[in-house]
Amino acid sequence: MVSTADFAGQVAPAELEPVRTLLNSWLIPNDSRQPTDRFDELARASRWRRRDAALVRELRDGLRPAVESGDAGCLNQWIERTGLRPAVDEGGVVYRHESGPAGDYLAAVLAAVAAGTWKRLKACPDCKWVFYDNTRNGSKRWCLMYAGGPDGRACGTIAKVRRYRDRRACELRTSQGSATV
Ligand SMILES: [Zn+2]
């Protein structure tokens, strides 16, 4: 099973959540800390045909840098590649295509860009886990500030401790330095 555990409210809006699940099929698990690719599990569970799966995997690997850098510019090349065409349907904009699941994922991404929710999909700078920033001002940076369960990482807490230690070490050095003067 591909783990899509909700770390303390990090789930994306319904239409964007499958994209988050796809992105997190590449992950750095808490226990091993070794980059792991669980794409094949997701492809099997989704019953994609081999060719469709290959394109979805490429899209995942193309979307990850976009999420990590916050630069959505690369989406244009995927719009061309999948041949997505906007159409008005029942008062809303939909995207038509013949690109299978990759096209469906990209359509969900474009809808999220239009809705302003795409930029809230973020990758933790430490563990790379992709989470949805549900905070009011969209200022969340780490996947989780506190360990929220067996899968909780507390990357933000770890970073805070590290910063505190660095600062303490610096202060100690300074006080030792001044003591010898
Ligand atoms: Zn993290």
The residues facing 92 across adjacent strands are 89
* Domain contains 60: yes
* Domain contains 114: yes
* Domain contains 6: no
Find the 35 Cα to ligand 1 centroid distance in Å. 13
Our count of domains for the chain comes to 1
pLDDT digits (tens, 9 = 90+) for 79-94: 999 999 999 999 999 9
Find the 117 Cα to ligand 1 centroid distance in Å. 20
Supply the range of the domain harboring residue 171: 17-180
Q: Which residue would you say has higher pLDDT here, 164 or 121? A: 121
Find the 12 Cα to ligand 1 centroid distance in Å. 16
* Domain contains 130: yes
Find the 158 Cα to ligand 1 centroid distance in Å. 9
CATH number of the domain that 93 lies in? 1.10.3300
Find the 4 Cα to ligand 1 centroid distance in Å. 14
Find the 177 Cα to ligand 1 centroid distance in Å. 36
* Domain contains 115: yes
pLDDT digits (tens, 9 = 90+) for 32-61: 888 999 999 999 999 999 999 999 999 999
Q: Long-range CB contacts (< 8 A, 24+ apart) of 82-90?
A: 82/55, 82/106, 84/110
Q: Which residue would you say has higher pLDDT here, 116 or 7? A: 116
Average the pLDDT over 126-155 and give the result. Answer: 77
- Give the chain as a DSSP string: -------SS-PPPTTTHHHHHHHTTEE--TTT-S-EE-HHHHHHHHT--HHHHHHHHHHHHHHHHHHHH--GGGHHHHHHHHT-EEEEETTEEEEE-SSHHHHHHHHHHHHHHHHT-GGGEEE-TTT--EEE--STT----SS-SS--STT---HHHHHHHHHHHHHHHHHHHHHHHHHH-
The most confident of the ranges 100-104, 113-117, 164-168 is 100-104
Q: Give residue 1's pLDDT.
A: 37
Is 0.75 topped by the overall pTM?
yes
Q: Give residue 19's pLDDT.
A: 98
Q: Give residue 142's pLDDT.
A: 84
Find the 152 Cα to ligand 1 centroid distance in Å. 9
Give 151's pLDDT tier (boundaries 50, 70, 90).
low
Find the 138 Cα to ligand 1 centroid distance in Å. 16
Find the 153 Cα to ligand 1 centroid distance in Å. 6
pLDDT higher than threshold 70 for residue 150: no
pLDDT digits (tens, 9 = 90+) for 5-19: 455 578 899 899 999
Find the 132 Cα to ligand 1 centroid distance in Å. 12
* Domain contains 11: no
Find the 33 Cα to ligand 1 centroid distance in Å. 11
* Domain contains 107: yes
* Domain contains 141: yes
